[in-house]
Structure 1
Amino acid sequence: MIGCVVGYCIEMLWCYLRLGYFESRQGLIYGPFSPVYGIGAVIFTVVLYRFRHANGVVIFLASGIIGGVFEYLCSLFQELIFGTVSWEYSDSPLNVQGRTNVFFAVCWGILGLIFLKHMLPFFTNLIERIPNRPGKVIAWVLLVFMVFDIIISSAAIRRQTNRHLGIPANNPIAVFLDEHYTDEYLKKVYPNMQLA
């Protein structure tokens, strides 16, 4: 959850620095969450935690490789499952099929280094201060909310793709999605998402 929110903030700041204005960088319909960063934080923790005391160059290189591969796989997954893409780097130098590039692998390397050396210890200490019983309740509430958010976001995006393919809403769920998650609404949430 923390990785999702921090990633969302990083994306918003990056957008402002690059374009001069803020633009939605949500990865889910409800809340300031970017699951790519949240899952990335989990992967960095699981794969690199044992190397957290290693030389910063080692962590940077490992994070860059892991992040670049992960970004590529996220783009591929989004295209295969939802028929959409949210980023496209074909015009950038040293890109890999437009799904990632060396510049963003370097960014992942920097993020991984900062995450393992500073953010993970800080947030771990913060989380460990939460008493066990309320901590479990909070964790379950957040889990249920995130599962709902992921399901409704996935369904809305898949339905949008189906609308563009001319597939009619032939069940109550599809009708609900068409009524509540219109193309205009989803464009505000995902301004960079396009059909593949």
Structure 2
Amino acid sequence: MTKKERGYLTELYYFALSFFVYGFLGWCTEVAYAAAKQGKFVNRGFLNGPICPVYGIGVGVVVQFLTPVENNLVLLYISSTILVTVIEGITGFLLEKIFHNKWWDYSEQPLNIGGYVCVLFSLIWGVFCVLIVKIIHPLIYKVLTMIPLVLGIVVMACLAVGLLADLYVTASGILKMNRRLEAMEKIAAELKELSDKVGENIYENVMEGMEFREEKKARIEELKAKYEEMAENRTKVGERLVKAFPKMQVGQHKEIFEELRERIKRSK
């Protein structure tokens, strides 16, 4: 292996370690912000575990590519702001396309782009990135270099396995929540259709109306019970995500989702 190749592997190794460090610190930041705003602990991560991958990737990329320009504060700030904006925008867009849900929404904020990013917040994150590159990362990097290589690889492998497992569980929970919303919307549509038919028969007063109404009423009660059961038996992942992302928007089944959101609020 050439010296250049060893250099690339070393950079990749520390980038991976930094990903988990900054992913965890990002999660801590989100939790602290939510605690200050709501007065209680809320797991603000997309995943169940204490890590926000977007922070790990965002800060890791900033540190990796912008350290060479750290002495030029203006260039460092502008480049950091652009990078974190692009990463947040791409992440939000991809998550919405994959899961059909919008996890955060800046639409009510001025200077937002598609609701995925907000220029004002990006400017603030640019300041934090400068502080990270100039002050925080040198300290963290020094600590990381003190970890024996073999131990670092083992720890990183364990964390990677845990991250993949968490990602699988979270993705499964989201897809299950989406299927539940779809099923509940179908039940709601059938309930409306049956109610309309019962009303029409009462109005028209047809001869077989009584028998028809009793049959339909039984079906209505069955559907209501099934709807209520589905609404109350929520998945833990889905409920956590609704609490973690108060601005979360769904692409489909919006009315049903808003009803579930209100139920979750009342169940606190």
Q: Same fold (TM over 0.5)?
A: yes
Question: Where do 1:129-168 residues align within 5 Å?
Answer: 129-166=146-183
Distance 1:19-1:127 versus aligned 2 partners, 3 A rule: same
Q: Tell me, in whole angstroms, the C-alpha distance in 1 between the residues paired with 2:26 and 2:61.
A: 14
Which residue of 169, 188, 196 corresponds with 2:240? Answer: 188
Quote the offset at 1:113 in angstroms: 0.9
Find the counterpart in structure 2 of residue 24 from structure 1. 43
Question: Where do 1:56-95 residues align within 5 Å?
Answer: 56-95=73-112
Letter matched to residue 118 of structure 2 = N
Q: What's the CA shift string for 1:149-178, capped at 9, x where partnerless?
A: 2222222212322322239xxxxxxxxxx9
Report if the CA contact (8 A) 2:173-2:235 is conserved: no
Give the fraction of aligned pairs with identical amino acids, expressed as a percent.
27
Report if the CA contact (8 A) 1:27-1:190 is conserved: no
RMSD, aligned α-carbons: 2.3
Letter matched to residue 22 of structure 2 = G
Runs of 5+ in structure 2 lacking a partner? 1-19, 185-229, 252-268
Q: Tell me, in whole angstroms, the C-alpha distance in 1 between the residues paired with 2:28 and 2:127.
A: 16
Q: Tell me, in whole angstroms, the C-alpha distance in 2 between the residues paired with 1:158 and 1:115.
A: 36
Larger Rg: 2
Letter matched to residue 82 of structure 1 = F
Q: What's the CA shift string for 1:165-196, capped at 9, x where partnerless?
A: 239xxxxxxxxxx9xx9435422244124423
Letter matched to residue 120 of structure 1 = H
Letter matched to residue 47 of structure 1 = F
Quote the offset at 1:7 in angstroms: 0.5
Find the counterpart in structure 1 of residue 132 from structure 2. 115
Q: How many residues align?
A: 182
Q: Tell me, in whole angstroms, the C-alpha distance in 2 between the residues paired with 1:182 and 1:43.
A: 37
Q: Tell me, in whole angstroms, the C-alpha distance in 1 between the residues paired with 2:128 and 2:173.
A: 30
Report if the CA contact (8 A) 1:25-1:190 is conserved: no
Q: Tell me, in whole angstroms, the C-alpha distance in 2 between the residues paired with 1:103 and 1:115.
A: 19
TM-score, normalised to structure 2's length?
Answer: 0.62
Q: Tell me, in whole angstroms, the C-alpha distance in 1 between the residues paired with 2:175 and 2:60.
A: 26
Runs of 5+ in structure 1 lacking a partner? 168-177
Identify, as 1 or 2, the structure richer in helix.
2
TM-score, normalised to structure 1's length?
Answer: 0.82
Report if the CA contact (8 A) 1:60-1:112 is conserved: yes
Quote the offset at 1:57 in angstroms: 2.5
Letter matched to residue 138 of structure 1 = V
